Structure 1
Amino acid sequence: MKLGLAVTLLGISATTWAQTPAPRPTQEPVPEPDVRPAPEPVYGTATTTDWGEGQVITIDGNDSWATAYTSSSAEDFFFNYFTGGSPTDPDLQLVTEALEEMMEQRLQGGEQVSSGWGRSATIYGGYNVGASRVEGYGVIFNITESSFRFSNGEVAGIVTDELVSVIQDFLMTYGDLIDGLEPNDKITVLAKETIASTVTANTVRRSGSLMVVSPSSSNAVQLRVSVTKKDLGKLYSGTSQDDFRAKYITVERTEPTEASGNSQISIFANLLKKRFSTRELDRFVALSTPTFEYIPDLGVVFHLRGSNIGRSSVAPVIITTERFVREFSTEVADDLADEVEDELDAANEAYVEQYENFQNQLVEFVVRYGRTLNFLTPNERIIVKVTVPGCTKCDLPDRFDVVVTKDVIDDLAAGKISLEQAAKKVTIN
């Protein structure tokens, strides 16, 4: 019989399924056991244990009683479940999907490529574009390297003029549809062009030449295509598209020799992940190593996904069957609802405390370790864009930015200001 496992974690409720007694986690579907009488509800504390590619949620340490297993990881499952499908910026989401669709239609998808050594691979479709707003700058679209994957596991960066053309057309067609921008704000699209270190593909049908590189290679050229919001109006006042491309859209490539700070940024991102990857309960953690991009005159932008889901000692867990729930008397149901409500209130109070501690610790990390990004100019910024799961009963945003200019960090390093004074100069948007 299938048992409904209602997992309430920090004010968030979801329903997944488990077996009783639970089998060892497996990637294959588990056969249903013989039907048994409905058990009594069980209350307990949810903890998680790493197991292979995923995690086991255990009640009060008794994993022989009931467990729930999610493929990938418990944090990713709940994060995607609760944040997917309801973007906080639907306008930006629509425009992002337009860029993905344009790339899908005009660039490669499933063609064969051949190398100078007689090797070949198949390009698979699928284009991943991230988008974020940066206060005082505008909007940044980031075409990730995972957008261009090959059957041999290598990663490709497009070096053709066609990619630039697609981005330019996107900016001219959809840039003016992005709301909330100031006239001097920029709309920037970033992509990484990789320099061949393993295989050079000489021919690709319909796409010109490509370069293929292993994901571990640091030989990446960053392509940056930008336009200013106010200039887009010239498209409606007689400027032809060809003239607009030439005069108002900036296309820049940052060569590896010019991007000497890449290793510094990468180390900073790894340290940021390790700083918030503790196994302690009741605190926020980083779900993965932050992604990042460097934009001259703006600075470095890091993207960090944080969560405390699956790691809270106050998370209540209730196991029932659908039939048992239907047979509840009103009195029992009301008592159960009150008990769960009390647990949720306690979980939300803990969430608020953990959230505030996470922000304070993140600010301290940025101002202390920001000095290692010594290639930044004093006016450039370190920006950490954070996304965390929402809270059902607390008025806390699920996204915030931590922003500090490099001159503040330089003053701290020089002893001109204290750590506390530097932290007060950090902006949280």
Structure 2
Amino acid sequence: MSTLAFAQTDERMERDIKVAEGVLSSLIKQQLEKDAWFPISVEGTYRSGYGITFSVPNFSNFPMNYMVTPRAPMAPRVHVQGGQGFGYTYSIETDEEGDVITEELRGKAVEEMEEAEEQMANAKQRMAEAEVAMRESEREMQRSLNGVTVVRSGAREKDKEELNKMLTEAAKTFLADYSSILSQLKPDERIIITNRATNEGGNRYWRFMGDEKRFFLSIEANGTDIKQYQTNKLTREQFVAKVKVVESEVLNERVQDLELLTTIIDRLYQPDLSKTFFTEQNTYYERLKDFGAIYHMQVFSSNQMERGYFTMPTQSAQKVTEEERNKKVKELYPTFEKELKENILEYGRTIKSLKPEESLVFNVRLTKCKECGIPSTIEITTKASVLSDYMSGKLDRNAALAKMEVKKGPNQ
């Protein structure tokens, strides 16, 4: 297939998904009737070789939910004014992520330059301190969110099972009657409709108050069944019966072996041990009843210095240009993915709290690297049975690694 044909296919898929988002949103509103006065946000994403995932609101949790799109507080603009009568200034302005977007020095008196440079160094030191505080604040936001989503009090009283039934009915109607909109879907791919929040596209997540139960729902149809139904090889009843529905409860209790794995992963990906990317020890997990455990992790490749330079701690590299950094990030990514799978296998096999049919999932947000061609996210999934079979010797290392499923988000 030519490059032009590929581009046209991608454009068609993107258009189809946008149309399908509107259809699914409308079907959900119809199911909720008068309680759906708030916007029903549906977000679809396509992963080649895997399929299309539609993320929808988690209605069963709305009354207790706090929803936020975390944004790191802006590092303060640093402004240094020169001595009286000399009229020089030095200023640094940063964006939300602490990146320098303007840097300017003006002066009339050459003899005052040394003093200005000293002030510049002090200003940059304050910026570095602000960046550390900024990252700490971002972690704090994961613990206490500050935006409240309000719903009609009538919805608050609705039975959560009934709400999940409504979403399931809307999803099944969409899959049976409107999946033909997604004409580019391949037979070996699937359509998933889920109310489990993801980290993609804005780092959204939920927080729940007290001991309130939380639920995760997933409705899935594979491409082969969809094609058979569309070509009248399956009746509607037969097709709907093949739609897979999984409902899981998010458990609040701490689990010792899952906690230990968090500690191990955070330690392995500290700059002194990792040879690729590193974390800031902010890995956390969710335990989903009858589903497994999902770990959320964010990795970095560098720290930014002054004037657009970077340090890369895992590479012992100082004062690296952005071009050099990006080249190195592209080189390191395949090794990072390979080693992460190996670490999940080696250290995940010690987990005893998961049932054989449950899954261990690592959802990783990757280092920022514009136009590097690496994924923005990666999700690695393995069944607990694979880990136990590897532990007992029923599977060798290569066979166990081959059973791990890797899903990659859109390229940066």
TM-score by length of 2: 0.47
TM-score by length of 1: 0.46
Return the structure number with greater relative CO, CA threshold 8 A, min gap 6: 1
In terms of fraction of residues, the more helix-rich structure is: 2
